[in-house]
Structure 1
Amino acid sequence: MFSKMRSVFLLALVLVLFSACNEYQKVLKNEDVKAKYDLAERYYNEGDFKRANRLFEQISPKYVGKPQGERVMFFLANSYFQIKDYNFAGYQFERFIKSYPKSDKVAEASFLGAKSYYKLSPRYSLDQTDTEKALIKLQNFINTYPDSEFFAEANIMAQELTTKKERKAYEIAKQFTKLGKSYILDYNISAIAALDNFISDHPGSIYREDALYLKVEATTALALNSTFGKKRERLDDAKSAYNNLMKYFPETKYAKAANNLIAKVDRELASITAQENLTR
Structure 2
Amino acid sequence: MFLRIMKKGILVLGLLLITVSCSEYQQLLKSTETAPKYAAAEELYNEGVAEDNNNKLKKALRLFEDIEPELRGKPQGERLVFLVADTYYQLEDYYNAPFQFERFLQLYPNSQKAEEAAYKSAASYFYRSPRYDLDQTDTNKAVEELQVYLNNYPDGEFVESANEKATELRIKLEKKAYEIAKQYHHTEYYKAAIASFNNFISDYPGSPFREAAYFYRFDSAYRLAINSFQVLMEDRLEEAKEFSAAYKKYYPEGEYTSQLEDALLEIDKRLQNF
TM-score relative to the length of structure 1: 0.92
Q: Which moved more, 1:114-123 or 1:46-55?
A: 46-55
Aligned to 2:202: 200
Report SS of the residue matched to 1:190. helix
Whole-Å separation in 2 of the counterparts to 1:196 and 1:49: 50
Q: Which residue of 2 aligns with 1:63?
A: 71
Residue matched to 2:270: 268
1:156 aligns with 2:158: no
Query: What value does the CA root-mean-square deviation take over the aligned residues?
Result: 1.2
Amino acid in structure 2 at the alignment position of 1:65: G
- Equivalent of 1:214 in 210, 213, 216: 216
> d(CA) in 1 for partners of 2:182 and 2:67?
53
The aligned residue for residue 136 of structure 1 is 144
1:18 maps to 19
Structure 2 residue aligned with 1:145, among 144, 153, 160?
A: 153
In the TM superposition, what whole-angstrom CA distance separates every residue of 1:153-211 from its partner, at most 9, and x where no partner exists? Answer: 1111101100111111011000000011xxxxxx1111111110011000000100111
The corresponding residue for 1:275 is none
Between the two proteins, the alignment pairs up a number of residues equal to: 266
In the alignment, which residue of structure 1 is the partner of 2:192? 190
Tell me what 2:47 maps to.
46
Which runs of 5 or more residues in structure 2 are unaligned? 49-55
Give me the whole-angstrom Cα distance separating, in 2, the residues matched to 1:158 and 1:268: 47
Task: Tell me which residue corresponds to 1:35.
Answer: 36
Q: Distance in 2 between matches of 1:204 and 1:41?
A: 46
The TM-score with structure 2 as length reference comes to 0.94
The match for 1:104 is 112
Alignment of 1:117-128 (within 5 A): 117-128=125-136
Tell me the distance in 1 between the aligned counterparts of 2:239 and 2:70: 69
Aligned to 2:130, the other structure's residue is in SS state: coil
Unaligned runs of 5+ in 1: 181-186, 273-280
**d(CA) in 1 for partners of 2:36, 2:153:** 37
Runs of 4+ in 1 over 6 A off after TM superposition: none
| CA distance, structure 2, for counterparts of residue 46 and residue 38 of structure 1 | 12
- 1:32 deviation in Å? 2.3
Task: Give the aligned partner of residue 184 of structure 1.
Answer: none
Cα distance change on mapping 1:96 and 1:271 into 2, 3 Å? same
